[in-house]
Amino acid sequence: MIDEVVNAIRRNHALEHATVTVMLARTGADLRLVGRAVVDGFYVYGRVPTDLLRECALEALARLQRGDTGLAVTPLCGTNIAVGGVLGGVAAALALGRRPTLPNLPNACSAVSLSLMAAQPVGRWVQRHLTTRADLAGVEIAGIRRGLGGWVHKVETHSSV
């Protein structure tokens, strides 16, 4: 049961990324969007025409189902920020040691800087292997609901698998 829920969210996370990537490619990078995957689809927050979202979601789904798995991973994902925070916190703690002192501060700053540089590639790895699942066989878009004057959309998905 829990595996089914987690895998549904991972698939919807991949579809959310792919949809936003397709949308940015069509319209340019001037869109201000936030996405959030849930078990039965994903939300897009930001002023987006519903028809454009539908077209991009359908294209993204088709491309993922054809094997364009690179669409599932993006440098714009909040996972990268979370990974950066965790790596930075661990790096600072290790550099400062049990008794943080002012002389250890340069080492902590260097360690945090290095960890933040690693956050993008590590974040992409985390997306690819933990937070998204690009295998969307049997997934279909069941509908798109619009709310809050067009500021929120929910792309509803259904899986036959």
Q: What is the pLDDT of residue 101?
A: 85
Domains of the chain: 2-73+132-159 (3.30.980), 78-128 (no CATH)
Cα 70 to Cα 23: distance, rounded to the nearest angstrom: 15
Q: What is the pLDDT of residue 28?
A: 82
Q: What is the pLDDT of residue 24?
A: 94
Q: What is the pLDDT of residue 132?
A: 98
Cα 113 to Cα 80: distance, rounded to the nearest angstrom: 15
Q: What is the pLDDT of residue 149?
A: 85
Q: What is the pLDDT of residue 43?
A: 98
* Sign (positive or negative) of CA dihedral 97, 103, 105, 111: negative
Q: What is the pTM of this model?
A: 0.91
Q: In what order do the strands lie in the sheet with 34-38?
A: 34-38, 41-45, 152-159, 139-147
Close Cβ partners of 7 (under 8 Å, ≥ 6 residues apart): 133
Q: What is the pLDDT of residue 5?
A: 97
pLDDT per residue, tens digit, the chain (161 aa), is 899 999 999 999 999 999 999 999 999 878 889 999 999 999 999 999 999 999 999 999 999 999 999 999 999 999 999 999 999 999 999 999 888 788 888 999 999 999 999 999 999 999 999 999 999 999 999 999 999 888 999 999 999 87
Main-chain dihedrals φ then ψ at residue 34, nearest 5 degrees = -135, 135
Q: What is the pLDDT of residue 160?
A: 86
